[in-house]
Homo-oligomer: A and B are copies of this chain.
């Protein structure tokens, strides 16, 4: 088996593997064997698809989502301006989405990890609105949107699920706008760490300790501050025994007090 969990774990650096605790059993990764990409047997299904699909519905999905794509660290899955054709479910790895202003200014609009979907921004204008860049070697399921629309006309729960996913993105973005509009640098970094923690936990990893796949600069660009400020906040939290940060490895020591910052 070659599922998302296996891959995700296989990309954790050696020195940190012991700290990351997958709840689901981890099976050995066999990269020589072609990926069997079927929603019906995917361990990410509970995260990226509705729960109540029948066997019949699942076979429809399997017929549509039959290809995956590997994206190497630093490569783009799509760029702003690219023709929109598919959305992508992250099977393994992680991405950042970046919007660019005409004057060259960049802003990171989100970090997406295994189980997240990418690409809904392209439906509106028929072309993507941001760059999606892999933060590590990653694998995505390719979901042709036209075919997904057909399924959604046939399967009510799929239809509703897609609406929920898009609505969820709207809600997450509005929360992020509040963060950017009203919070201090200290509060933003605290929120960021707790948010990542919660998402890792949902996916069966440790909520307390994890590895950041993004640089301080990328975090800063996401939170609307400079990389030096991010670094200072990490140091501050460390001094206050809220967090232990060692480079990319982060341990949240006191989540309650961190939330109250």
Contact = CB atoms under 8 A, between A and B. Distances in A.
Interface of A: 97, 99, 101, 105-107, 109, 120-125, 129-130, 149, 152-154, 156, 159-160, 162-164, 166-171, 173-178, 180-183, 221-224
Contact of A167 (B97, B99, B124, B154): B124
27 contacts: A99-B175, A99-B177, A99-B178, A101-B178, A101-B182, A105-B178, A120-B167, A120-B170, A121-B174, A123-B163, A124-B167, A124-B170, A124-B171, A129-B174, A152-B153, A152-B159, A153-B156, A166-B166, A166-B170, A169-B170, A170-B170, A170-B173, A176-B177, A177-B180, A180-B180, A180-B224, A181-B222
Contacts of A149: 156, 159-160, 163
B123 A181 contact: no
Nearest to A101: B178
Given A166-B166, A166-B170, A177-B177, A224 B123 contact: no
Contacts of A180: 177, 180-181, 224
A166 B87 CA distance: 15
B170 A121 contact: yes
A182 B109 CA distance: 11
A181 B223 contact: yes
Contact of A153 (B159, B174, B181): B159
Nearest to A122: B167
A178 B124 contact: no
Given A170-B173, A174-B173, A221-B181, A164 B124 contact: yes
A97 B178 CA distance: 12
A124 B165 CA distance: 7
B167 A167 contact: no
